[in-house]
Chains A and B, each alone.
Chain A
Amino acid sequence: DGGITQSPKYLFRKEGQNVTLSCEQNLNHDAMYWYRQDPGQGLRLIYYSQIVNDFQKGDIAEGYSVSREKKESFPLTVTSAQKNPTAFYLCASSIEDRVKYGYTFGSGTRLTVV
């Protein structure tokens, strides 16, 4: 079955360390997205990519970096510059016609800074 795989499900990081969250999709979707979810807040867009080797900043890109070297993969790096990295991170993808088909979401990664 096609879908989005995020790994790991839970991740612990020491302050000052960079950490990379994995997102892989086998849906042949063109666009991929990273969202952050905090208690009491809606999902907030970190970065998105509509095509390989291209990506754009979302609303809260500071302290994060991404790459899109392959269509299937869109890893997110949480850098030490991110002041409050503890959150739930969701990856999503969509085909070109998002109006008709919407998003497919991964199962998320819960990052905790210790």
Chain B
Amino acid sequence: KNEVEQSPQNLTAQEGEFITINCSYSVGISALHWLQQHPGGGIVSLFMLSSGKKKHGRLIATINIQEKHSSLHITASHPRDSAVYICAVRSGNQFYFGTGTSLTVIP
């Protein structure tokens, strides 16, 4: 069983839709990261959270430490948001990665 589980694995949305990607984890963590992997393979860090909520443009990330759950929301989705979104958690000196959610936004 993976320490980090993401859902859904694949997601197709119409442009403009509100999107939610979920991440659950089973280990104690000091931080949770949301990463975006573009079709070419490069990864960028979107958020790092240890509590509460963060917002950057149309992206919102929340975390509930007690429930060991985080969500990434995209408002007013756009085709350029199409990518793989990866949840990662830091536990001690280890990082654990989810398998990613592949998002396709259709014009």
Contacts and interface: CB of A to CB of B under 8 A. Distances in A.
Nearest to B42: A107
Interface residues of B, number: 24
Contacts of A75: none
A102 B97 contact: no
Contacts of B30: 99
Contacts of A41: 99
Contacts, number: 52
B22 interface: no
Interface of B: 2, 4, 30-31, 33, 35, 40-45, 48, 50, 86, 88, 90, 94-100
Interface of A: 35, 40-45, 88, 90, 98-108, 110
A93 to B, nearest CB: 12
Contacts of A42: 2, 4, 86, 96-100
Given A99-B30, A108-B41, A110-B41, A43 B86 contact: yes
B54 to A, nearest CB: 12
Would you call the interface of chain A mostly helix, strand, loop, or mixed?
Answer: mixed
Contacts of B31: 98-99, 102
Contacts of B4: 42
A108 B42 contact: yes
Given A105-B43, A106-B42, A110-B41, A99 B90 contact: yes
